[in-house]
Amino acid sequence: MSENENEKVPPIRPPSKIPEGKFMEYVLAVGSSWLIPGAGHWMLGYRNQAILLVVGILGAFWSGQALADFRAVNKTDHPIFFSAQVANGFSTLVSEKCWGEPKATPRDSIDKTIAPHHSTGILFTTISGLLNALVVLHIADPRTWSAREQERKHETG
């Protein structure tokens, strides 16, 4: 690009606030993004990214649950991991409700009923939660909304 062309194109500097009249849509997108990974991107019109996010994040979460025999999410036994897993929203809440009861085993004995890949399952579910936290932060960033508004203006004319 020549120097004259750079002068014609103003740099994109989105404002650091939510576009006018979009507050309720913003709150809904952020909340939806927490509940279902990729939902906020879908609402903004980033369909391909949304599909990639839902497949990747939920795939990692449910693969982790399967590896751990659906015992990876447990608020009582794994409170630190649960704090990261809860960023998966709906999946974590369902898992905790359906399979989250703690196993009552004495601390001085070895529980041989634990799945062989239990730790790997906890790792997968925890990492997927942390990834979804980043996705939620991306949707919560007003610059994402401003950039999308600029893209829509550019697409329409």
Residue with tokens 């529980």: 111
pLDDT score recorded for residue 147: 84
Tokens of 8: 């014609």
User: Is the pLDDT reported for residue 105 higher than 60?
Assistant: no
Can you tell me the mean pLDDT for 1-9?
58
User: Is the pLDDT reported for residue 142 higher than 90?
Assistant: no
Q: What is the mean pLDDT of the chain?
A: 85
pLDDT score recorded for residue 53: 96
Residue with tokens 């994109």: 12
Give the side-chain half-sphere CA count within 13 A for 57. Answer: 30
pLDDT score recorded for residue 107: 61
Q: Specify the amino acid at residue 81.
A: F
pLDDT score recorded for residue 116: 84
pLDDT score recorded for residue 20: 74
Can you tell me the mean pLDDT for 8-26?
71
Can you tell me the mean pLDDT for 101-115?
66
Cα-based torsion angle of the residue sequence 81, 102, 57, 89 in order, rounded to the nearest 10 degrees? -90
User: Is the pLDDT reported for residue 6 higher than 60?
Assistant: no
Domain ranges across the chain: 22-101+114-156
Q: For 44-91, how does the pLDDT look when each residue is reduced to its tens digit (9 = 90+)?
A: 999 999 999 999 999 999 999 999 999 899 888 889 999 999 999 999
Can you tell me the mean pLDDT for 13-20?
65
